[in-house]
Amino acid sequence: MHGLTGSVPLAPPGVALRAARFALLVLRRIVDAALILLVAIMVAAVLVQVAGRYLFNFSIAGATEVATFAQIWMVLLGAGYAMRERLHVSIETLVEMLPPRLARAIMVPVAGLCLWFLWVVFEGGLLLIEVGAIQTSAALQVSMQVPYIALPVSAAYLGLEATLAFGAAIFGQGAVTTGGGVRVD
């Protein structure tokens, strides 16, 4: 019985954590697959454009737009992937010289600024989607919402990955620095 307040009993913490980890794994696999698909689409569109132009002396304008839209999505989603893999460029000289506790404390305002910026991008993307509703692309005549949706989607995904990365560093579950931003594994 739920009682008079109408509250629903919560799932045990272990179940909720496993479900969250599974959801994160599924999301990451979807992003990975989308990135691979976007690269394939971009390469195919460029090859079609090159073949049309140089073999048949005919320019295929739609291929250029497809490649451009695929690249927009790929770059913006790829930023989240890069955050997950800790591949973003960072200057860590000062942080590496600090004691671990102080280095983790400095990560709090850095994380706050990064997440604030991503929130601004997210909100700006939503506004841009509204503008895109009344615009169409030049060659394909598709709504400009298609490329503009990439902004809030990628900002949300990058925000999730940034929260996980910064949270792990702040709470001592992950490294504060990445060793100069270069992976050696």
Long-range contacts of 88-91 (CB under 8 A, 24+ apart): 88/181, 89/181, 90/177, 90/178, 90/181
How far is residue 110 CA from its own chain's centroid? 18
How many percent of the chain have pLDDT more than 90? 71
Confidence tier at 1 by pLDDT (50, 70, 90): very low
Confidence grade of residue 145 (pLDDT, cut at 50, 70, 90): very high
Listed by start position, the domains of the chain span 13-170
Given a cut of 80, whether residue 180 has pLDDT beyond it is: no
Average pLDDT, the chain: 89
What pLDDT, on a 0 to 100 scale, did the predictor assign at position 13?
73
List Cβ neighbours of 38 (8 Å cut-off, separation of 6 or more).
70, 71, 73, 74, 77
- Report which of 99, 117, 120 is spatially closest to residue 109, judged by C-alpha positions: 117
Write the secondary structure of 47-101 as one string of H (helix), E (strand) and C (coil): HHHHHHHHCCCCCCHHHHHHHHHHHHHHHHHHHHHHHHCCCCCCCCHHHHHCCHH
pLDDT per position as a tens digit, 97-122: 889 899 999 999 999 999 999 999 99
CA proximity to 158, closest of 132, 125, 181, 131: 125
Query: Between 90 and 149, whose confidence is greater?
Result: 149
